[in-house]
């Protein structure tokens, strides 16, 4: 996911090193109430590979479970561990319609329980013909 969002130049956001709220469906991008938008509604939210909507709209639930690689913080406080009961937390990447731009960075990752967030979704993808 991160390679699709950052490309080979290691940009901070899919569209470059800056994210201005109207460029993606994120918090403060409009004066209207936050709402899901069609993926092509924000054409500037495009990665170097042409993938749309990685900075905003909904966070992408990844195939991998969340593995703690450092301190998980909520502001200045450590976030407590969450017991999912079925083996762990799901990792979600990208930003959402309720995320401030700072939380929409391509390197950002978050832990959620499978039923916790209405701002996380699944991105369907497939290999190009002829690729394994």
Asked if the structure places residue 21 within a domain, the reply is: yes
3-state secondary structure 52-73: ECCCCCCEEEEEEECCCCCCCE
User: What is this structure's pTM?
Assistant: 0.77
Asked if the structure places residue 124 within a domain, the reply is: no
Structural domain of 1: 1-67+85-117
Mean pLDDT for all residues in the chain: 83
Asked if the structure places residue 127 within a domain, the reply is: no
- Give the count of domains, the chain: 1
pLDDT tens digits, 89-100: 788 899 999 999
Tokens of 47: 């990665």
User: How much is the pLDDT for 123?
Assistant: 81
Residue 82 confidence (pLDDT) above 50 = no
Beta carbons of 95 and 26 less than 8 angstroms apart: yes
- Say how many C-beta atoms besides its own lie within 10 A of residue 127's C-beta: 7
Asked if the structure places residue 108 within a domain, the reply is: yes
Residue ranges of alpha helices (H) inside 1-132 are 2-6
Indicate the pairing of strand 73-74 with strand 77-78. antiparallel
């Amino acid at each position: 996911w991160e390679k699709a969002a950052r490309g080979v130049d290691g940009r901070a956001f899919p569209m470059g090193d800056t994210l201005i709220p109207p460029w993606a469906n994120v918090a403060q991008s409009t004066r209207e109430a936050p709402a899901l938008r069609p993926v092509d509604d924000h054409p500037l939210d495009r990665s170097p590979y042409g993938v749309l909507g990685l900075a905003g709209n909904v966070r992408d639930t990844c195939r991998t479970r969340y593995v703690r690689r450092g301190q998980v913080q909520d502001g200045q406080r450590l976030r407590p561990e969450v017991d999912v009961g079925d083996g762990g937390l799901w990792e979600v990447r990208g930003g959402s319609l309720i995320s401030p731009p700072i939380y929409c960075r391509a390197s950002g990752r978050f832990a959620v329980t499978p039923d916790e967030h209405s701002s996380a979704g699944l991105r369907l993808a497939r290999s190009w013909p002829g690729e394994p």
